[in-house]
Amino acid sequence: MTEADIARVLAPILEEIEARSGIAERFVDKEMYRIYLGTIWANIVMDPLALGFSEDDLETVHDIINLQAAQFVGDTEAITHAFEFINTKAGEVAMDKAKLSKNHRDLLLYFSSMILDPEGHKRWMDDVKN
């Protein structure tokens, strides 16, 4: 898929994140935005084909999402920083406030583990398998 095609597919999703986390025109609740961002990224990675992406497209998808998200949260590495936030006490409070289900919370924490500590995550998964 071309970068333009990927951007076109992502546009309505990113607009929805902005709308759902909006508190005023062009202002967003950064905590909610980060939760949505983590959720969207986790879902895209788990099933890129659902949006017509291949695994080879994921790097471009990542870059486009980061570029768009930087406008709202000020981070050039917005996806990574979203998972860093989710993995903090403030992130836990934000997930409580958002009334995330246990499965949703577990998904975000699982992806936080993979992204923030890939070697530790691999050791943990190996332990689980054994």
> What pLDDT, on the 0 to 100 scale, is given for residue 125?
65
Alpha-carbon span 102 to 109, nearest angstrom:
10
CA atoms within 13 A on the CB side of 122: 2
Q: Which residues lie below 8 Å from residue 30, measured CB to CB, with a gap of 6+? A: 21, 72, 73
Predicted TM-score of the model (pTM): 0.86
For residue range 26-78, list pLDDT tens digits in order.
788 999 999 999 999 999 999 999 999 999 999 999 999 999 999 888 888 89
Q: How confident is the model at residue 98 (pLDDT cuts 50, 70, 90)?
A: very high
> pLDDT tens, 5-21?
999 999 999 999 999 99
